[in-house]
Amino acid sequence: MDNDKPTSAFNNIIDKGKGLFDDIRRNCGPKNLLKKDVCCYCGKNILGLHYIDLYGQKICASHPRHLCISCCSFCDDKAIMIAEGKYLCTNCQSYHTTLKDAKKIIKMIREHYLQTGLGVIDRFHLEMVSVEEMRQLCQPISAGDVLGLAMYNGRRYDIRVIRNLSHTAMAGILAHEILHIWQYQRKLNAPQRISEGFCDLGSYEIYSQIKTKHAEVKIDMLQKDPSPIYGDGYRIVKRYFDKAGWQGVIKKMEGYGSL
Ligand SMILES: [Zn+2]
Ligand SMILES: [Zn+2]
Ligand SMILES: [Zn+2]
């Protein structure tokens, strides 16, 4: 390891073996990842037509192909439906993130953001909700796929996240929502896709600290996201970040301030 590099809060935790991200370090979602030609659903050898997920995990074409809401791998036959159309794979079922874990993750993200020059981000309240409660909250604007939400009601800053996420997925969502709070607290008013792209850059930053296959897949998904708001926004902000770093991006964002 390069000793001159500042160590992030994430490296410290991982080096000390505290195990917060063990969910994906040990057996990253897909249980049959190493068994190249075995179906992740029925466990039999893949013979005919099949599909491959982002982890390289295969599934026979005859099975249902539900993607896990947390790790985005194909769900196995013991996956559970946690809300209409939303599934959780067996592996992610066993890594239910508690409020205590989420707060630990927030602390690490805040420490890491401090090092990037984003400054202190605090004074927000966290609540974990079910997929169903999140749907209620997001109606009628958005349906289904919202995993996290940041809000400011003029008095209080709030973050809501769904509770059925692995620690890695939780870290990515929280990293995104915390950067919304950062924008609210500075009264910035960037165009929506820049605002969302900036938040996704935060997810990228945190995923790249975790350095596991699960985090790698999440980065890949950010990069390939077809959404004209999130995906395009992320690619614009990321390109700028590659040139100008966090200092450049922060300066650019601050240029959208105050009303
Ligand atoms: Zn099969
Ligand atoms: Zn999963
Ligand atoms: Zn957002």
55-76 pLDDT, tens per residue? 888 899 999 999 999 988 899 9
C-alpha of residue 230 to centroid of ligand 2, in Å: 22
Q: What is the DSSP string of 128-186?
A: EE-HHHHHHHHTTT--S---EEEEE-SS-EEEEEES---HHHHHHHHHHHHHHHHHHHT
pLDDT, tens digit (0-9, with 9 covering 90-100), for 70-100: 988 899 999 999 988 899 998 888 777 889 9
Look at residue 259 and tell me if it is in a domain. no
C-alpha of residue 87 to centroid of ligand 3, in Å: 22
Q: How many domains does the chain have?
A: 1
Of the listed ranges 19-23, 92-96, 254-258, the one predicted with least confidence: 19-23
C-alpha of residue 149 to centroid of ligand 3, in Å: 7
Look at residue 177 and tell me if it is in a domain. yes
Question: 201: domain range?
Answer: 96-125+167-254
Look at residue 58 and tell me if it is in a domain. no
Q: Does the pLDDT at position 1 exceed 50?
A: no
| Token pair for 259 | 């009303």
Structure confidence at residue 152 (pLDDT) = 95
pTM score of the predicted model: 0.89
Question: Which of the ligands is closest to the CA of residue 184?
Answer: 3
- With cut-offs at 50, 70 and 90, classify the pLDDT of residue 3: very low
Structure confidence at residue 32 (pLDDT) = 45
Look at residue 208 and tell me if it is in a domain. yes
Question: Which of the ligands is closest to the CA of residue 50?
Answer: 1
How far, rounded to the nearest angstrom, does the alpha carbon of residue 181 sit from its chain's CA centroid? 16
Structure confidence at residue 24 (pLDDT) = 47
Structure confidence at residue 94 (pLDDT) = 79
Question: Which of the ligands is closest to the CA of residue 58?
Answer: 1
Look at residue 105 and tell me if it is in a domain. yes
C-alpha of residue 248 to centroid of ligand 3, in Å: 21
Look at residue 178 and tell me if it is in a domain. yes
Q: 60 by DSSP, 3-state: which?
A: strand
Q: 248 by DSSP, 3-state: which?
A: helix
User: Of residues 192 and 1, which shows the higher confidence score?
Assistant: 192
C-alpha of residue 50 to centroid of ligand 3, in Å: 34
Q: What is the DSSP string of 214-236?
A: HHHHHHHHHHH---TTHHHHHHH
C-alpha of residue 244 to centroid of ligand 2, in Å: 35
Question: Which of the ligands is closest to the CA of residue 38?
Answer: 1
Burial 2-39 (b: 16+ CB within 10 A, else e): eeeeeebbbbebbeeeeebbebbbeebbbbbbeeeebb
What is the distance between the alpha carbons of residues 180 and 195, in angstroms, rounded to a whole number? 8
Give me the phi and psi of 211, to 5 degrees please. 55, 55
pLDDT, tens digit (0-9, with 9 covering 90-100), for 229-248: 999 999 999 999 999 999 99
C-alpha of residue 196 to centroid of ligand 3, in Å: 5
C-alpha of residue 43 to centroid of ligand 3, in Å: 38
pLDDT, tens digit (0-9, with 9 covering 90-100), for 208-223: 998 778 889 999 999 9
Mean pLDDT to the nearest integer, 194-210: 96
Look at residue 225 and tell me if it is in a domain. yes
C-alpha of residue 23 to centroid of ligand 2, in Å: 10
Q: Are 59 and 77 in contact (CB under 8 A)?
A: no
pLDDT, tens digit (0-9, with 9 covering 90-100), for 124-166: 999 999 988 998 888 766 555 789 999 999 999 999 999 889 8
Q: What is the DSSP string of 5-48?
A: SPPPHHHHHHHTT--TTHHHHHH-S-TTTTSTTBBTTT-SBP-S
C-alpha of residue 50 to centroid of ligand 2, in Å: 20
Look at residue 184 and tell me if it is in a domain. yes
